[in-house]
């Protein structure tokens, strides 16, 4: 199953026009993403908010991740403060995968941002979290926090933005987007054999591991008769007929 490094802004001194900071709202967005990521079977690790961008890059590069996703909001140049609006999704021009992910995120965000024409995927060779990370990386500038309309849009749509970006990740990874439900415990009940945990909700999905009969699992979501479950640090899809909830 895919695993991402989720890196909300650590820029605590970038104020929003009507209160709050970039770090605050991007961490709230990351909080809102967590249930969607878990329900859709995407494992994640979050950055250390005290480590800064350099620490996030180092932590991301210290292990294997399929995607490094940086969450930010933008600010206008001083002479244009409050005048600019729009979303920019930055990608590496040297990575087709990075470009594909950025375009996917940008295209999906057009469906919820008030000015779709101002949502753009852009190449960058200067942003460290795109240029210096080993994983496929994108950096999302999700509106201008010095603009009242953009700041209000971010503040009032955190859940919608979280769902939209997670759906884009699912599109990129080729897995179904699953709406989160209440997280519940389940027990594997088979004829005594192990229950295959798969990388896709199908009998043709690759086997991630085998869960022993009688094991406890956490269930995060369901799609077409398959549960998204975690067991012993593994995340994947297990056939629901062999899991008893409660």
pLDDT in 10s for each residue of the chain, 246 residues: 899 999 999 998 999 999 999 999 999 999 999 999 999 999 999 999 999 999 999 999 999 999 999 999 999 999 998 899 999 999 999 999 999 999 999 999 999 999 999 999 999 999 999 999 999 999 999 999 999 999 999 999 999 999 999 999 999 999 999 999 899 999 999 999 999 999 999 999 999 999 999 999 999 999 999 999 999 989 999 999 999 998
C-beta of residue 245 within 8 angstroms of C-beta of residue 188: no
Residues of the chain within CATH 2.30.30.40 domain(s) are 184-245
Using a 10 angstrom Cβ sphere, with 0-12 exposed, 13-18 middle and 19 or more buried, the burial of residue 149 is middle
- Angle ∠(143,5,240) on CA atoms, nearest 5: 105
pLDDT for res 6: 98
pLDDT of residue 1: 84
pTM: 0.93
184-245 in CATH: which number? 2.30.30.40
Amino acid 200: pLDDT: 94
Q: Please tell me the distance from the alpha carbon of residue 236 to that of residue 38, in angstroms, as a whole number.
A: 10
Question: Which CATH number is associated with domain 3-173?
Answer: 3.40.630.40
Phi-psi region of 47 (alpha: psi -120 to 50; beta: other; left: phi over 0): beta
The answer to whether the CB of 8 falls within 8 A of the CB of 48 is no
pLDDT value, residue 165: 98
Write down the pLDDT at residue 206: 95
Q: Where in the chain is the domain with CATH 3.40.630.40?
A: 3-173
> CA-CA distance, 241 to 186, in Å (whole number)?
11
């Amino acid at each position: 199953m895919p695993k991402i490094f989720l890196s909300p802004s650590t820029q605590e001194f970038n104020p929003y026009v009507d209160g709050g900071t970039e770090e605050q709202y991007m961490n709230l967005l990351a909080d809102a993403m967590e249930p969607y990521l878990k329900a859709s079977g995407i494992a994640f690790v979050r950055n250390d908010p005290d480590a800064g961008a350099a620490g996030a890059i180092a932590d991301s590069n210290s292990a294997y991740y399929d995607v490094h996703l940086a969450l930010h909001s933008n600010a206008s140049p001083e002479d244009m403060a409050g005048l600019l609006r729009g979303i920019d999704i930055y990608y590496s021009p040297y990575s087709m995968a990075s470009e594909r992910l950025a375009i996917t995120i940008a295209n999906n965000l057009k469906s919820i941002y008030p000015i779709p024409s101002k949502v753009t995927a852009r190449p960058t060779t200067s942003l460290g979290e795109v240029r210096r990370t080993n994983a496929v990386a994108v950096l999302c500038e999700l509106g201008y926090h010095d603009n009242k309309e953009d700041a209000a849009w971010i503040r009032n749509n955190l859940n919608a933005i979280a769902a939209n970006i997670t759906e884009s990740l699912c599109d990129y990874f080729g897995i179904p987007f699953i709406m989160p439900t209440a997280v519940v415990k389940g027990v594997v009940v088979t004829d005594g054999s192990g229950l295959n945990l798969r990388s896709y909700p199908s009998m043709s999905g690759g086997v991630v591991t085998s869960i022993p009969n009688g094991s406890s699992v956490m269930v995060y979501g369901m799609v077409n008769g398959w549960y998204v479950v975690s067991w012993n640090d593994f995340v994947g899809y297990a056939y629901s007929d062999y899991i008893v909830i409660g």
